[in-house]
Amino acid sequence: MADIADQPLWSLPATRIAALVRAGELSAVEVAKSALARIEAVNPAINAVVESRPEEVLAAAAAVDAVVAGGGDPGPLAGVPVTIKVNVDQKGYATTNGLKAQKDLIAKCHNPVVANLLGAGAVAVGRTNTPAFSYRWFTNNLLHGHTYNPRNKALTPGGSSGGAGSATAAGIGAIGHGTDIAGSVRYPAYACGIHGLRPTIGRLAAYNASGPDRGVGPQIMAVSGPLARSIADLRLGFEAMAKADPRDPWSVPAPLVGPSVPKRAALCLCPDGMETAPELKKELLAAADKLRDAGWQVDELEELPPIDEAVAIQLTLWMGDNYAGQVAAAQAEGDPGAIAALAGQKDFAATIGAAEFSQALVNRMGIARKWALFLEDYPVVLLPPSAELPFADNLDLKSPEDYQRVWKSQMSMVGLPVAGMPALTLCTGLMADNTPLGIQIVSGRFREDVALDAAEAIEARGTPVTIAEPVI
């Protein structure tokens, strides 16, 4: 283990930890102790982890070591410290979703994605923060408080998986669990300078026994996904999470690796007229060159299948599903961010009736078909993660104009889930003030392996992600 002698165990990649623990060369308990020390050292500055129970963490790690000592295999994530977002069920913990109203909603069983992570040998070291109702691309609420970006406190850590992004970037856990309906994995990964994968809808089973079944929009667009500091760790976390479960009737036991596809990618700097920041255009062009160096054909295109049109469908399926009830719940909670998030869509919500809601579902099929056909020709698409560099923290609350600016900039976060295919954000570097830079990569349905392969080729020709050291 000479190659890790000078590195704190919490800083090791998941792939390395798992290999050493499974081989009996490293104790999961020692890794867990190191991870808990890291939480104690940096979490006060960022408030990414809102609940951690050291005794339970160490007991879980000891159970992994016991399996190894008995000659068994604890799984592909043996001893790997992970974090779990507070909007999914973890047995014995409150599924708060950032709400005072749910502070005592204690889960009686694991969400399938949690069961899959722990069943693969991972050790959950803490629960991570989310905005109230998981509504925003900024992370603070009245129950758990404000989460900060560990690379630059003036920037949002993203949302709604802002706690997961902040924690993973700061070395709290090698893999973070997040959820994504409109960018809630991809945007925190981008904002915190790490990587995040939104899998295909149906790839990861979804079910919270603690609450009622979800509405139409979340059922067909919301997914769980991993955040990590390397693509190898992102792949490892994804593969551990990706199991079907009968409690989610729409989950699909699809193969993790599909047939070979042509190494052909489309590059689009300004999809649907997006006013992409020059810094992000530069990163996309550089990423395209790296893919070419890896043997890919990359064609720069002016147009992609619809994204902006898909944004309207996303909003219709969200705001058209009991908007008045959503507003009442936000007001009862009293959370300024949730109230503002809904108020900003009031005029749009007023246009949605039963006919518009039904038509949105019909139109979703056409958009998904256009993307599916396009991805037959171009198995990978490179496009911006956002029109802007990561936002100033709480920008959406500064004025109605700023709220609309945020939404306009997030077209590629909001629109892509409508078509159901996977997408990931790849960190490509940091600016002088530690503002993260990145790109977004899209592939065909159930072809996460293709997006990961492309991301890995770009990552290998760039600068590795560093661990953030937040300033208290």
Tokens of 221: 């667009």
* List of residues 6+ apart from 439 with CB closer than 8 A: 280, 283, 284, 287, 382, 383, 384, 385, 425, 426, 428, 458
Q: What is the DSSP string of 5-60?
A: TTS-GGGS-HHHHHHHHHTTSS-HHHHHHHHHHHHHHHHHHH--EEE--HHHHHHH
**Crossing angle of helices 231-241 and 112-119, rounded to 10°:** 110
Tokens of 430: 């940091």
Q: Which residues, in sequence order, are bridge partners of residue 381?
A: 266, 442
Cα of first residue to Cα of last residue in the chain, in angstroms, is 32
Tokens of 146: 């404000």
- Rounded to 5 degrees, φ, ψ at 425 are -105, 135
Asked if residues 373 and 419 have their Cβ atoms less than 8 Å apart, the reply is no
Q: Is the peptide bond before 160 cis (omega within 30 degrees of 0)?
A: yes
Please report which helix (H) or strand (E) contains residue 89, including its range.
none
Q: What is the DSSP string of 373-421?
A: HHHHH-SEEEE-S-SSSSPBTTGGGT-HHHHHHHHHHTHHHHSGGGG--
184 belongs to the catalytic site:
yes
Q: CB atoms < 10 A from the CB of 357, how many?
A: 16
251 belongs to the catalytic site:
no
Q: For residue 375, what are the CA distances in angstroms to 285, 361, 378, 454?
A: 20, 21, 5, 14
Query: Residues 160, 251, 386, 409: which is the catalytic one?
Result: 160
Q: Which residues, in sequence order, are bridge partners of residue 382?
A: 267, 441
Query: Residues 161, 184, 251, 409: which is the catalytic one?
Result: 184
103 belongs to the catalytic site:
no
Query: Residues 27, 34, 52, 85: which is the catalytic one?
Result: 85
Q: For residue 3, what are the CA distances in angstroms to 7, 9, 69, 96, 196?
A: 8, 12, 23, 41, 27
d(CA 221, CA 420): 7
The three-state secondary structure class of 442 is: strand
Asked if residues 74 and 121 have their Cβ atoms less than 8 Å apart, the reply is yes
Single-letter code of the amino acid located at 286: A
The catalytic residues are 85, 160, 184
